[in-house]
């Protein structure tokens, strides 16, 4: 006998879970392991026979923590839904009020009508890689900000010596921490055979180096191998967005940018190198320029081509082959 699916909408907060189910009033539970257990018991009282499917909005660490506990500790089916989808769905329902209770109900309605895909937690090594990469990138960004500020201070004649000394000390500390994190990333890659193989496969592509490979794997995660070509391009925010209506509106096509900008940034840096040194992508890039396409549009096209190349290499587990790429 096939069980029916009973959807549960959850608005996730730091300390509270607001839960909406069909056939009962909205209730709140503490965001703790005990609170999650009581939530599941309550939902079971509402519906004893169906397969429970918990749905929540992507809310960073709070949502991930709940999803991981529901999946790993309680063996539940979970979906994590893009917040932009929930917001658009609420607007389509002409919702004028935004409260935790309303949000939980919107998530429930979305799940009941759209049937979102089941979420699967990442492996431990990918989660560790992700956090290391995020920390390294944030440190790089902070270091650039302090470097720019230090450059400006060169033109300040009456700068207090303590300010200059503090800036120099911070710069040295940031550089030491960046080196430690990057070293830890390399160590993690070497320790895990599967991750090491994936990095080596990506580094076989002219234009992709160790740093770019770890960023692409950390930000792309499961989507790199589980999603189809169209979906992975959208995940990176590289899908074209056209603006056309009737005979009067003919806007320029642009990339939607409704995806992970960090993945897009990693692809951009690799695409810049690949457009000059990758034998396949260089021909593709030059052909676009000869057709009169702007350089940025051509680079964006190279980014899409590179992303699909990365996906194919990871799926097939074969290193880059210029002859195969040229023939396909």
Report the b/e string of 64-79 with b at 16+ CB within 10 A.
bebbebbbeeeebbbb
pTM of the model: 0.85
pLDDT in tens, 193-242: 999 999 999 999 999 999 999 999 999 988 898 889 998 998 898 876 55
Handedness of CA 178, 121, 223, 62 (dihedral sign): negative
Phi, psi of 238 (to 5 degrees): -110, 5
H runs (alpha helix) in the chain:
33-46, 61-68, 83-92, 100-114, 124-153, 161-191, 193-203, 210-220, 223-226, 229-235, 261-277, 279-290, 295-316, 322-327
Would you call 196 helix, strand, or coil by DSSP?
helix
Q: What is d(CA 81, CA 7) in angstroms, rounded to the nearest whole number?
A: 13
3-class secondary structure, 293? coil
| Whether the predicted pLDDT of 295 surpasses 60 | yes
Structure confidence at residue 185 (pLDDT): 97
| Phi, psi values for residue 30, rounded to 5° | -70, 145
- pLDDT per residue as tens digits for the range 2-18: 679 999 999 999 999 99
Distance CA 57, CA 60 (A): 9
Return the higher-pLDDT residue of 303 and 246: 303
pLDDT of residue 288: 94
CB 186 within 8 A of CB 250: no
Contacts of 310 (CB under 8 A, 6+ apart): 202, 205, 208, 216, 220, 224
Whether 118 has a pLDDT exceeding 70, the answer reads: yes
């Amino acid at each position: 006998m096939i069980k029916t699916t009973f959807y549960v909408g959850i608005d996730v907060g730091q300390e509270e879970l607001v839960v909406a189910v069909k056939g009962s009033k909205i209730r709140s539970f503490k965001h703790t392991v005990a609170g999650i257990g009581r939530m599941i018991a309550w939902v079971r009282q509402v519906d004893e026979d169906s397969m429970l499917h918990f749905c929540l909005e992507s809310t960073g660490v709070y949502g991930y923590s709940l999803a991981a506990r529901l999946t790993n500790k309680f063996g539940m089916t979970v979906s994590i839904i893009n917040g932009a989808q929930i917001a658009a769905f609420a607007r389509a329902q002409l919702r004028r009020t935004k409260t935790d209770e309303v949000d939980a109900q919107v998530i429930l309605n979305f799940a009941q009508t759209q049937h979102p895909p089941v979420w699967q937690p990442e492996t431990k090594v990918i989660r560790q890689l992700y956090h290391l990469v995020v920390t390294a990138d944030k440190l790089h960004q902070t270091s650039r900000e302090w470097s720019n500020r230090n450059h400006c201070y060169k033109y300040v004649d009456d700068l207090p010596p303590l300010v200059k000394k503090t800036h120099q000390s911070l710069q040295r500390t940031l550089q030491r921490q960046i080196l430690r994190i990057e070293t830890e990333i390399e160590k993690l890659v070497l320790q895990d055979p599967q991750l090491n193989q994936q990095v080596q496969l990506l580094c076989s592509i002219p234009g992709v180096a160790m740093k770019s490979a770890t960023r692409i794997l950390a930000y792309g995660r499961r989507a790199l191998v589980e999603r189809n070509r169209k979906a992975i391009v959208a995940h990176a925010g590289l899908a074209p967005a056209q603006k056309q209506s009737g005979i009067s509106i003919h806007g320029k096509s642009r990339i939607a940018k409704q995806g992970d900008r960090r993945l897009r940034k990693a692809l951009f840096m690799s695409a810049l190198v690949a457009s000059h040194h990758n034998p396949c992508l260089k021909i593709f890039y030059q052909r676009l320029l000869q057709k009169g396409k702007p350089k940025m549009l051509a680079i964006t096209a190279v980014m899409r081509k590179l992303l699909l190349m990365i996906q194919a290499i990871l799926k097939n587990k074969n290193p880059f082959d210029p002859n195969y790429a040229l023939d396909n």
